[in-house]
Amino acid sequence: MTSSKFYFVACMTLAGMLSSCGGNQFIASSGLRSADFRQKVEGEKTALYRICNQNGLEACITNYGARVVSLMVPDRNGKLEDIVCGFPDINGYLSQPQNYGATVGRYIGRILQARYTLDGQEYRLQANHTDGHTAHGGDPNFGARMWKAQQTSPSSITLTYLSPDGENGFPSNLSVKLTYTMTDDNALDIRYEATTDKPTVLNLCNHSFFNLSGNLNSSVEDQTMWVDAAYFTPYDRKKCVTGEFWPVQSTPLDFTQPHTLGEHIDDNYGQLKIVNGYDHAWALRNPGDDTRPSAWIYDAKSGRKMEIYTTEPAIHIYTGNGLKGNVKGKNNIYYPFRGAVCFETCHFQDSPNNPQFPSTVLRPGEVFQSHTAYKFVTDK
């Protein structure tokens, strides 16, 4: 039996135990210990689960915030390394606000002035930003809520959350289902479904911080990126979207021809100065089409390449400009400035107040569906 097949059988056995008893003890290939993720939050037990495919790729997921805690991916020589930021135990996630690996909702990004109008009624939301806006759905957002988890197979786990009517000001009882699957073509596949009993707005997203090098103590600025987008949404001086679409052509945000993140990230360009790097939403050329990649990033040292497929109209790309080397994560690493990059597949910020943006409205009788896949390949 090959090592990868042996690993898959071991993972299958473990997954069966997890489904039946709610979290058996294990040590993941990332070094995470399931025992370190046992705590009580809101009267419910936190736990760590792992999913893997027949090639040995492994992801660890916690039901606290439906978060991706680790993601083990091989380099060109077959060496598995963890490529996402996070903490080695549940206390790290509970003790400080952050969105490492989190499922963010109800609305990722900002809703300006913490209000919007739908069907003639104004809804006032929790203003959790210093300028009076609602950021990432309020505090706490879905990334700091307890989800119910069921491991449905060795390679897949489904998590559910019922967001009550009025949570952080949002209307309706919203029922959310999220399924993570580690596919045999080496993708971390994420599928969302949601239903509501009143008209509401919804913008869900995974907020993993990636560093394909496997060295989470290094910058991502030498990694090469391509984005299939001709436009982006600009900010005003206070980092509020203006409602416009600007062309990427002749700007540092043009990744229609691949180049490194660091090549233009410090250019004297107003949009970069506002956020000290990249922290923008690119409008994808083929919204709704998850059969072709919308973006990719490549690390020449390891040979890893991650392709992003999505049904969403945008990818918000954030280059870790707020990382300051003062947060200690897994393996005692203090995550450095620009030490990771996020690919947040989503709708645009403040869409409820900008009718020219694709709608984020969900109504009773409708089923919200969204799909994103992070697919990994290596050069030879």
Q: Is 209 in the same domain as 358?
A: yes
Q: Is 298 in the same domain as 263?
A: yes
Q: Is 21 in the same domain as 130?
A: no
Whole-angstrom distance, CA of residue 165 vs CA of residue 178: 20
CA dihedral (61, 208, 53, 160) in degrees, to 10, reads 40
Q: What is the pLDDT of residues 273-288, one digit of tens each?
A: 999 999 999 999 999 9
State the catalytic residue, choosing from 167, 307, 344, 347.
344
CA 86: distance to chain centroid?
12
Interval 214-231 mean pLDDT: 98
Q: Is 234 in the same domain as 160?
A: no
Q: What is the pLDDT of residues 24-63, one digit of tens each?
A: 789 999 999 999 999 999 899 999 999 999 999 999 999 9
Residue 97: inside a domain? no
Residue 99: inside a domain? no
| CA dist list (Å): 355 to 162, 204, 240, 349, 350 | 28, 19, 16, 12, 10
| CA dist list (Å): 38 to 23, 28, 110, 213, 273 | 9, 15, 32, 30, 42
Banded model confidence at residue 20, pLDDT cuts 50, 70, 90 = very low
CATH code for the domain of 159 = 2.70.98.10
pTM: 0.95
Banded model confidence at residue 380, pLDDT cuts 50, 70, 90 = confident
Q: Is 129 in the same domain as 148?
A: no
Residue 96: inside a domain? no
Q: State how many domains the chain has.
A: 2
CA 367: distance to chain centroid?
21
Residue 287: inside a domain? yes
Banded model confidence at residue 109, pLDDT cuts 50, 70, 90 = very high
**Residues paired with 225 in a beta bridge:** 259, 297
Q: Is 240 in the same domain as 370?
A: yes
Residue 307: CA atoms inside 13 Å, Cβ hemisphere, count?
13
User: Is 244 an active-site residue?
Assistant: no
Interval 217-237 mean pLDDT: 98
Domain boundary among 151, 166, 194: 194
Extract the tokens encoding 313: 């109209």
Domain boundary among 194, 211, 232: 194
Q: Is 135 in the same domain as 244?
A: yes
Residue 293: inside a domain? yes
> Does the N-terminal peptide bond of residue 124 adopt cis geometry, omega within 30 degrees of 0?
no
Whole-angstrom distance, CA of residue 307 vs CA of residue 277: 22
Domain boundary among 194, 213, 233: 194
| CB 146 within 8 Å of CB 162 | no
pLDDT for 238? 96
**Residues paired with 265 in a beta bridge:** none
pLDDT for 14? 46
SS3 string, the chain, reads CCHHHHHHHHHHHHHHHHHHHCCCCCECCCCCEHHHHCCEECCEECCEEEEECCCCCEEEEECECCEEEEEEEECCCCCEEECECCCCCHHHHHHCCCCCCEEECCECCEEHHHEEEECCEEEECCCCCCCCCEECCCCCCHHHCECEEEEEECCEEEEEEEECCCHHHCCCCEEEEEEEEECCCCEEEEEEEEEECCCEECECEEECCECCCCCCCCCCCCCEEEECEEEEECECCCCCECCCCEECCCCCCCCCCCEECCCCCCCCCHHHHHHCCCEEEEEECCCCCCCCCCEEEEECCCCEEEEEEECCCEEEEECCCCCCCCCECHHHCECCCCCCEEEEEECCCCHHHCCCCCCCEECCCCCEEEEEEEEEEECC
| CB 105 within 8 Å of CB 141 | yes
Q: Is 71 in the same domain as 25?
A: yes
Range of the domain at 365: 110-140+198-378
Residue 208: inside a domain? yes
State the catalytic residue, choosing from 133, 136, 207, 316.
207
Report which of residues 10 and 255 the model is more confident about: 255
User: Is 133 an active-site residue?
Assistant: no
Residue 173: inside a domain? yes
Q: Is 243 in the same domain as 156?
A: no
| CB 133 within 8 Å of CB 127 | yes
Residue 35: inside a domain? yes
Residue 135: CA atoms inside 13 Å, Cβ hemisphere, count?
11
Pick from 233, 210, 256, 188: nearest CA to 83 = 210
Extract the tokens encoding 251: 């700007």
| CA dist list (Å): 339 to 208, 222, 276, 280, 326 | 12, 11, 14, 17, 12
Whole-angstrom distance, CA of residue 109 vs CA of residue 340: 19
Q: Is 190 in the same domain as 330?
A: no
Interval 338-365 mean pLDDT: 98
Q: Is 52 in the same domain as 187?
A: yes
Q: Is 223 in the same domain as 301?
A: yes
